[in-house]
Copies of this chain bind each other. A is one copy, B any other.
Amino acid sequence: MSVMDSRARSVTDVWSMDRAEPIRTGDDYVASLRGRGLRVRYMGEWISEPVDHPVVRPSVNAVARTYDLAVEKPELATVHSELVGRRVNRFLHVATSAEDLVDQNKMQRELGRQTGTCFQRCVGMDAFNALWSVTYECDRDRGTTYHQRLRDFLRYVQEKNLVVGGAMTDPKGDRSKAPADQHDPDLYVRVVQRREDGVVLRGAKAHQTGCLNSHWLVVMPTMRMRPEDRDYAIVAAIPVDHPGITYLYGRQASDSRAAEGVDQGNATYGGQEAMVLLDDVFVPWESVFLDGEVEWTAPLVERFTGFHRRSYVCKTGLGDVLVGAAAQLAEYHGTDRASHVKDKIVEMTHLNETIYGAGIAASHEARPTAAGNYQPDDVLANVCKHNVTRFPYEIARLAQDIAGGLVATMPSEQELDDEEVGPLLRKYLATSPDVDPADRMRLLRLVENLTMGRNAVGYLTESLHGAGSPQAQRVQIARGTDAEALKAHARRLAGVDEPAGD
């Protein structure tokens, strides 16, 4: 079936396409991605099978690791689901206790350590965790039936053990204008047609983490909507291989090295972000979880970010890798006992654990919603993410400091294979007879990878903008502060008001 033919498949076909056997291992998962006929562009060309594309594959491997971890460490990466009556992958679970949320964080850190990149499944998890209570309350207040639809959808993906991506960020056009006020109405995803059997969507979602590697995408509004933005207040699940979707694969720093197959630093794992174009995509009502209830857009975004900003604890796993790489290089270089090197490693650790602390605290301080699931503490979740917008940059700087200038000036590992030049390069990159210069080069490439290469996208820029740019957290921290209570404390101590309790 050619790429363009796929357009002809009905959604029912897509749905029925689901394989009989649920996915279990990473290999099963990789197999599940094949043959979907996705319309994917990269560097000006259509990609025929993303799974086998050298630039895409590392991102597939990272998601596959989430499956294998569930097999290897089920206590960490699976959890009992009431919906299906058995343990499911933790990424498909709606957290029903603070401890569940803390355990998510621990799984996220472990996966960060194991992959050194973004493993792409948090957005989806955080999306349906937020939708769980929002649909519940919307149904309660408006008499809609979104919550039951969501339960059905979740039961299905849990049974099949699928990857669900969340798609929130619209292109946004002119930032100073609301959705309905843009010069092009499609700059935010919108309902262009409401039919008896469902809705038709048009628009785009930018920076979509792991979209190609998912089985379903849940599109959601990206911000608070006004009544006039009603057509933009849409939440819907769409199969990734829907024929109306085109994926424009994002370039990453040094991504061509994956195609070259050399000097990658981390050849196994990588992140993935693409722009998703929705060209009049039909979604049946059973997959629609909000449509026009604009008053629920702000709560949805706030609750989603309440989960997702705390999910950035994953970056402490990447931080662990950088700490490890720096410590290993210091040992190779004979600088591991220099006090300033030890001190910098402590600083890296301190910053990394500071992020972790706020994340764990946000999860631990979660409170139950009316729907019965648990919602993280909003201020602490935002504080966690806000530190993520700062500290990885400093950790990266310190890692480069310890690693040395070769991070940015090292000749290709290909030179090692040359009969004349290879031995010379080894000679001059040797630090002591006990250290293989090739190992040193690999570690240096890993630092490059995480600080200015392919996984710097995930470790730095995504840390800055994912789950909302820094200012979004500041707004939310301001909202979460009970300024009146604090002012009253100050006035009382200053003697302006009467003492408390009197």
Q: At the interface, yes or no: A340 with Cβ under 8 Å from chain B?
A: yes
Is B251 touching A411 in the complex (CB atoms < 8 A)?
Answer: yes
List which A50-64 residues lie within 8 A (CB) of chain B. none
How far is the CB of A262 from the nearest CB of chain B, in Å?
7
Is B393 touching A431 in the complex (CB atoms < 8 A)?
Answer: no
Is A490 touching B443 in the complex (CB atoms < 8 A)?
Answer: yes
Q: At the interface, yes or no: A11 with Cβ under 8 Å from chain B?
A: no
Would A207 and B357 be within 8 Å (CB), given that A337-B176, A424-B277, A491-B443 are in contact?
Answer: no
Residues on the B chain within 8 Å of A364, using CB: 102, 360-361, 364
User: Among the listed stretches A30-38, A297-305, A326-334, which one makes contact with chain B, having 4 or more residues with CB under 8 Å of it?
Assistant: A326-334
Is A175 touching B277 in the complex (CB atoms < 8 A)?
Answer: no
Mask, A387-408, CB within 8 Å of B = 1, is: 1011001101100110011111
Residues on the B chain within 8 Å of A41, using CB: 411, 415, 418, 421
Is A207 touching B409 in the complex (CB atoms < 8 A)?
Answer: yes
Q: At the interface, yes or no: A204 with Cβ under 8 Å from chain B?
A: yes
Is B415 touching A328 in the complex (CB atoms < 8 A)?
Answer: no
Would A265 and B357 be within 8 Å (CB), given that A324-B483, A474-B340 are in contact?
Answer: no
Mask, A473-493, CB within 8 Å of B = 1, is: 010011001010111111101
CA distance in complex: A358, B351 (Å): 11
Residues on the B chain within 8 Å of A322, using CB: 490
CA distance in complex: A58, B424 (Å): 27
**A-B pairs with beta carbons under 8 Å apart, 14 shown:** A41-B418, A187-B428, A246-B424, A248-B415, A251-B412, A256-B260, A268-B493, A321-B486, A327-B483, A338-B471, A345-B478, A354-B387, A401-B465, A408-B461
- Total copies of this chain within the assembly: 4
Q: At the interface, yes or no: A77 with Cβ under 8 Å from chain B?
A: no
Is A464 touching B397 in the complex (CB atoms < 8 A)?
Answer: yes
User: Among the listed stretches A81-89, A191-199, A220-228, A451-459, which one makes contact with chain B, having 4 or more residues with CB under 8 Å of it?
Assistant: A451-459
Is A428 touching B277 in the complex (CB atoms < 8 A)?
Answer: yes
Q: At the interface, yes or no: A433 with Cβ under 8 Å from chain B?
A: yes
User: Among the listed stretches A128-136, A154-162, A494-502, which one makes contact with chain B, having 4 or more residues with CB under 8 Å of it?
Assistant: A494-502
Q: Please name the residue on chain B nearest to A444 by beta carbon.
A: B494
Would A328 and B411 be within 8 Å (CB), given that A44-B417, A466-B405 are in contact?
Answer: no
Q: At the interface, yes or no: A254 with Cβ under 8 Å from chain B?
A: yes
Residues on the B chain within 8 Å of A488, using CB: 324
Residues on the B chain within 8 Å of A414, using CB: 43-45
Mask, A170-208, CB within 8 Å of B = 1, is: 010111110000011011000000000000000010110
CA distance in complex: A425, B189 (Å): 15
Residues on the B chain within 8 Å of A433, using CB: 183
Q: Please name the residue on chain B nearest to A485 by beta carbon.
A: B324
CA distance in complex: A253, B407 (Å): 10
Mask, A351-371, CB within 8 Å of B = 1, is: 001101111111011000000
Q: Please name the residue on chain B nearest to A265 by beta carbon.
A: B494
Tell me which of B357, B412, B446, B466 contacts A494 (CB under 8 A): B446
List which A304-336 residues lie within 8 A (CB) of chain B. 320-325, 327-328, 331, 333-335
Residues on the B chain within 8 Å of A491, using CB: 324, 328, 439, 443
How far is the CB of A325 from the nearest CB of chain B, in Å?
4
Q: At the interface, yes or no: A343 with Cβ under 8 Å from chain B?
A: yes
User: Among the listed stretches A230-238, A287-295, A376-384, which one makes contact with chain B, having 4 or more residues with CB under 8 Å of it?
Assistant: A376-384
CA distance in complex: A489, B461 (Å): 23
How far is the CB of A47 from the nearest CB of chain B, in Å?
12
Residues on the B chain within 8 Å of A360, using CB: 357, 360-361, 364-365, 380
Is B324 touching A431 in the complex (CB atoms < 8 A)?
Answer: no
CA distance in complex: A460, B456 (Å): 13
Beyond A320-B489, A358-B361, A389-B401: 18 further Cβ-contacts under 8 Å? A173-B430, A173-B431, A251-B263, A253-B254, A321-B490, A327-B483, A327-B487, A339-B339, A342-B478, A346-B477, A357-B380, A390-B397, A397-B460, A401-B470, A405-B462, A408-B457, A442-B495, A445-B494
